[in-house]
Each structure stands twice: as structure tokens, then as C-alpha cells.
């Protein structure tokens, strides 16, 4: 009898979650079906005029961005249909100027995620999956179109590239910090799956070049000239133009077990805490002097508490989240800019384009603490979006949170991120959280002969909320390289003189042909290159709450 109140409370909580999850599904399908009915094959839906527009590249962006959300919500049939549709309709060989940053996080990330989830979605898999597959080849094709942007003296990429002709001779060399440092997750995964190191090498070269430009007090600015390495905008903070750079150092360290990336972030974090943090807000400061330049909170900064939770910095994360949540409660959303001294919106920055960052942090913090405050934020967000942003043709960005004027745009990240994080917040047993039991399809075999296990948990979300399975890193190149080394050793021992041949002289890889496809075609076998035994000195541990702690924590 003593357990009855607990059982009753749990039943009420779980039932409430189930209701919210169903409401979120309804929200998704209202937006998704409105896009299909009124906007496809354009990039985005215009929800006030019930039509579509191309925004980031003219490749049905919303459909690519929403593909893995379909599976997150359990719709395997529609996932299969859309995956086939995209293969038939999307072409990256087009004369379009595309954002290198946005194409990477939305298109390359979305296709990679869908490729890694294809088995769970019940799609027919090619032999050797995840080392081959049509969605992987699409992701590689899209990423290869971005590589010309990285062909600079510094290794830092241009912000825009023409998908057909490469970088324009008149292209500006000035780009934002995040536009240089937000590639390692997608490019490393792509390199490990295809066996082509070009992508990961490009991302790492850009990261190292950016690292060398930090100021004497350890900060980076907002916009940099990638040719001269001079900072054009010297405001340092954690928000727009910088945010995902820090995010990818942490998540890259976790996914790749990479101590170099972790050390970079820890050095930045020390400077950030020293110079930009005031009363658990994070201000903008001059990168060389540390003096306050903009005492504002930007909505894009709301990812920070979630990122801090991944490193176990829960006390700080909780206090900062409460500051941000107080702004949400004031307006029913997060304005793009919020003046901390005045406690109000900043002129011409009053909008809320249905961004996910505060909901994302709530998801991480609820996983880490179990505090129902974060579920309340999810409920508030669900209510606000339904009440303020819903239209007959989808959900519209809020132009002004003060009077709830709407803008005629529904960003693709609303389906890719906002709805996905909302749903995952209310579903603690979801497979992306490591939920499920053996025998229910939670685990999948991958690679030739099923030598690796996928889907066991530990998914890493890219900055567009596309989940990447770290286990896939070891299905292709690493296992193939290890097996090749073993074969070489055995062959050398079988030679009459018992001696192995000296290793071939190492030379630089020839520049790749942009038209070549590295991903395996159906039925193809790859001959893996020789590589010395992998060494992983950096170790991380995942706690039951999903936090990541380094050895010296």
C-alpha cells in the first residue's frame, strides 16, 4: 500500500507525457503535410501564403531535414518513401550558390543520419552497410561540392560555394567563426564510412587554423578574413556566429574520443568563464581586452546549458538555464536579442523563428537531473507554439514576440530540431536515449560479416539535431584497416625467409577528383589501405544520465 502514491504519480506523469507526445506528433504532421501539399519541391514552406520558396540551395531542404524526424516519431513507412523520393529527385549538380555551413549541417548531416538509421527504418540495406548505401552516396556527393571552399591558403573555408562552378572569384573572404569550425562531426563520419580521409582532413585543418587565431586572452571573435586571418568582427561570445564551433569541439571530442578537441574547448571555456560570464549570463566582450561590448542574451546561446551538461557542469548549467527560461516566460518564446540590463527585447531583434535551443538544453538537463522543471518548459513551448504560431498551412516564425505578429516563413529546423527535441524531452525511453531492450530491434549488425554493432546508444546530435551513431565510426575504415594489417602480418610470416617486406614509402595523397564517388556501389568491395594500429589515449565515460566525464573529473 505504501507504494500506491508513487505508482499513481508515475502513472499520471507517464500519461501526461503520452498526451504531450501525441500533441507533438500532430504538430509535426500539420507542418509536414502542409509542406508536402503546398511547398514541395521548394526548400521551405511559406505558411501565410501557403506556397514554397528556395532559401538555402534548391534541393527540397525541408524534406531532407525532416527525414530522420519521421523515424524518431515512429513512421517507418513514410521514411522509406521519402528516402526513395529524395534519391530520385535531388540533384546537387546545379548552378546554385549555397551556404557551406548550412548545406553541411542540414543536408550532409541529414543524409548521414538517415543513412545510419536506414536499417532501423526497415529499408533494404546494401551488403556492407553502413559502409555503403544510396543515402551515404548522396551525403558524399553534397559534401564533395563543398570541398572547393576549403581550398584556401589557411584551410579555413569560404562561406559560400557554387555547387556547379566552385568558389566565385568575387566571393568575400569574410565568414563567421561557426562557418569555419562546424564540420568535424559530419566530415569525420563521412571519411570513416567511405574510407576517404579528405573530408576529415579538411575539417581538422580548418579547426587548427582557427585555433591559432585566438587572442592573447584566449578568445575568438565573430567574423574572420579566412585569407589574411584577421578578425573583422572582434566581439567574443557564445551566441550567433560562434555557437556551433564550441559545440563541435565538445561533441567531436566525445564522438571521436579526441583529446585535442577537448583540450581546445577547455581552454576556450576557461576564457569564456573568466571574461564573458556575469551572474550566470554570458555577455559579448571585446576579444582582445575582455571589456563588455554587448550586454545582450541571444536566443542561439540557449544551447549552452545543454552543452555544459555533457561535460558534467550541472550547477552552472542549471542556473544559466533558469535565466533563459525566465525570458521565455516573459514573452512566450525567446527573442533573438534580449537586453540584460533593460530586461526587454532589442530593437529589430524581437522575433522568434521557432528555434529549438532552449528545448534542446531542457532535454539534456532533464536526462541529467530528472527535474520536472524541464518538462514544464517543454509544455510551455508546446502551448506557446500552438497558440501563437499555428496557421492553416503550418507554423509561422514569430516576427515580433511583443504583439505576436507572424512572418511568412517556416524554417526547416522547426521539423528537424524543435519538434524532435520536444518529442525526445517527453519520451525518456526512446531508442535515441538508449532505450529499448534486446530483441526489439534496438541493435543492428553492420559492416562486412556483421563485425560491428550499431544502435546501442550514445548518439551524438549535430547542430541541426541529426543523430549520428558513433559505433558506425568503427564499422568501415578502422575494422578494414585492422583486418588488412593482420592479413599482411600473416602473409609475411608465411614467406620462406620469414621476413616481411619493408613498408612502402609514404607519399601525400593525390588530390581527389571531385566527380569520383568514394562510397561503395552495390556489390563493390573496397581494398583498404595500410595503416598503423590505432591509438586512442583519450577515454570518456558515459554515466547513466548520458553525461560525459573525462578521466580527471
Contact 103, 172 (CB under 8 A): no
Ramachandran category for residue 47: left, alpha or beta (phi over 0 → left; psi -120 to 50 → alpha): alpha
Helix (H, G, I), strand (E, B) or coil at 44: strand
Residues 6+ apart with CB under 8 A from 329: 380
Contact 226, 152 (CB under 8 A): yes
Residues 6+ apart with CB under 8 A from 128: 447, 448, 520, 525
Contact 442, 455 (CB under 8 A): yes
Residues 6+ apart with CB under 8 A from 40: 52, 60, 62, 63
By the 10 Å C-beta count (0-12 exposed, 13-18 middle, 19+ buried), 331 is classed as buried
Active site residue 243: yes
Dist CA 112 CA 116 (whole Å): 6
Is 463 among the annotated ligand-binding positions?
yes
- Residue from 357, 360, 407, 427 carrying the catalytic annotation: 357
Active site residue 102: yes
- Residue from 102, 411, 448, 469 carrying the catalytic annotation: 102
Helix (H, G, I), strand (E, B) or coil at 362: helix
- Residue from 336, 417, 444, 464 carrying the catalytic annotation: 336
By the 10 Å C-beta count (0-12 exposed, 13-18 middle, 19+ buried), 137 is classed as buried
* Helix (H) / strand (E) containing 52: strand 51-53
Helix (H, G, I), strand (E, B) or coil at 319: helix
- Residue from 44, 126, 243, 448 carrying the catalytic annotation: 243
Residue given cell 517556416 in the structure block: 410
Contact 250, 265 (CB under 8 A): yes
Which residues are known catalytic residues? 102, 243, 336, 357
Could you tell me which residues are annotated as the binding site? 463
Could you tell me which residues are annotated as the binding site for Ca(2+)? 463
Amino acid at each position: 500500500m505504501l507504494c500506491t502514491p508513487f505508482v499513481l504519480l508515475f502513472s499520471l506523469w507517464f500519461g501526461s507525457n503520452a498526451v504531450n507526445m501525441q500533441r507533438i506528433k500532430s504538430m509535426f504532421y500539420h507542418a509536414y503535410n502542409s509542406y508536402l501539399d503546398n511547398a514541395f519541391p521548394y526548400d521551405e514552406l511559406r505558411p501565410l501564403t501557403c506556397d514554397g520558396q528556395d532559401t538555402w540551395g534548391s534541393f527540397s531542404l525541408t524534406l531532407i531535414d525532416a527525414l530522420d524526424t519521421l523515424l524518431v516519431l515512429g513512421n517507418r513507412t513514410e521514411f522509406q518513401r521519402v528516402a526513395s523520393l529524395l534519391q530520385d529527385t535531388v540533384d546537387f549538380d546545379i548552378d546554385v550558390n549555397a551556404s557551406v555551413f548550412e548545406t553541411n549541417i542540414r543536408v550532409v548531416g541529414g543524409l548521414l543520419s538517415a543513412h545510419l538509421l536506414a536499417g532501423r527504418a526497415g529499408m533494404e540495406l546494401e551488403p556492407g552497410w553502413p559502409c555503403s548505401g544510396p543515402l551515404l552516396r548522396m551525403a558524399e556527393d553534397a559534401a564533395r561540392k563543398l570541398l572547393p571552399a576549403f581550398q584556401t591558403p589557411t584551410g579555413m573555408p569560404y562561406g559560400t560555394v557554387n555547387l556547379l562552378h566552385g568558389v566565385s572569384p568575387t566571393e568575400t573572404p569574410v565568414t563567421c567563426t561557426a562557418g569555419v569550425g562546424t564540420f568535424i562531426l559530419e566530415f569525420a563520419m563521412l571519411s570513416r564510412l567511405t574510407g576517404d580521409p579528405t573530408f576529415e582532413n579538411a575539417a581538422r585543418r580548418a579547426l587548427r587554423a582557427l585555433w591559432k587565431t585566438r587572442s592573447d586572452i584566449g578568445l575568438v571573435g565573430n567574423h574572420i578574413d579566412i585569407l589574411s586571418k584577421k578578425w573583422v568582427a572582434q566581439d567574443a561570445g557564445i551566441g550567433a556566429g560562434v555557437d556551433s564551433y564550441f559545440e563541435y569541439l565538445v561533441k567531436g571530442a566525445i564522438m571521436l574520443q579526441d583529446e585535442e578537441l577537448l583540450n581546445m574547448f577547455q581552454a576556450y571555456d576557461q576564457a569564456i568563464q573568466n571574461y564573458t560570464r556575469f551572474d550566470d549570463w554570458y555577455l559579448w566582450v571585446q576579444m582582445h581586452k575582455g571589456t563588455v561590448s554587448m550586454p545582450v542574451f541571444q536566443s542561439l546561446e540557449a544551447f549552452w546549458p545543454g552543452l555544459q551538461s555533457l561535460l558534467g557542469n550541472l550547477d552552472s548549467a542549471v542556473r544559466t538555464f533558469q535565466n533563459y527560461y525566465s525570458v521565455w516566460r516573459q514573452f512566450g518564446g525567446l527573442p533573438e536579442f534580449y537586453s540584460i540590463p533593460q530586461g526587454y527585447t532589442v530593437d529589430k531583434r524581437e522575433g522568434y523563428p521557432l528555434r529549438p535551443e532552449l528545448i534542446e538544453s531542457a532535454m539534456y538537463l532533464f536526462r541529467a537531473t530528472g527535474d520536472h522543471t524541464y518538462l514544464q518548459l517543454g509544455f510551455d513551448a508546446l502551448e506557446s507554439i500552438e497558440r501563437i504560431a499555428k496557421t492553416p498551412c503550418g507554423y509561422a516564425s514569430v516576427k515580433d514576440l511583443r504583439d505576436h505578429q507572424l512572418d511568412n516563413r517556416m524554417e526547416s529546423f522547426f521539423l528537424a530540431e524543435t519538434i524532435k527535441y520536444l518529442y525526445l524531452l517527453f519520451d525518456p525511453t526512446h531508442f535515441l536515449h538508449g532505450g529499448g531492450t534486446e530483441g526489439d530491434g534496438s541493435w543492428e549488425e553492420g559492416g562486412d560479416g556483421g563485425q560491428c554493432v550499431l544502435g546501442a546508444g550514445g548518439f551524438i546530435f549535430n547542430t541541426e539535431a541529426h543523430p549520428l551513431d558513433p559505433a558506425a565510426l568503427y564499422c568501415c575504415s578502422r575494422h578494414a584497416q585492422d583486418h588488412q594489417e593482420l592479413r599482411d602480418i600473416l602473409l609475411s610470416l608465411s614467406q620462406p625467409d620469414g621476413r616481411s617486406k619493408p613498408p612502402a614509402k609514404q607519399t601525400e595523397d593525390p588530390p581527389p577528383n571531385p566527380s569520383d564517388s568514394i562510397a561503395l556501389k552495390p556489390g563493390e568491395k573496397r581494398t583498404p589501405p595500410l595503416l598503423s594500429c590505432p591509438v586512442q589515449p583519450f577515454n570518456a565515460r558515459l554515466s547513466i544520465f548520458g553525461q560525459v566525464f573525462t578521466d580527471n573529473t
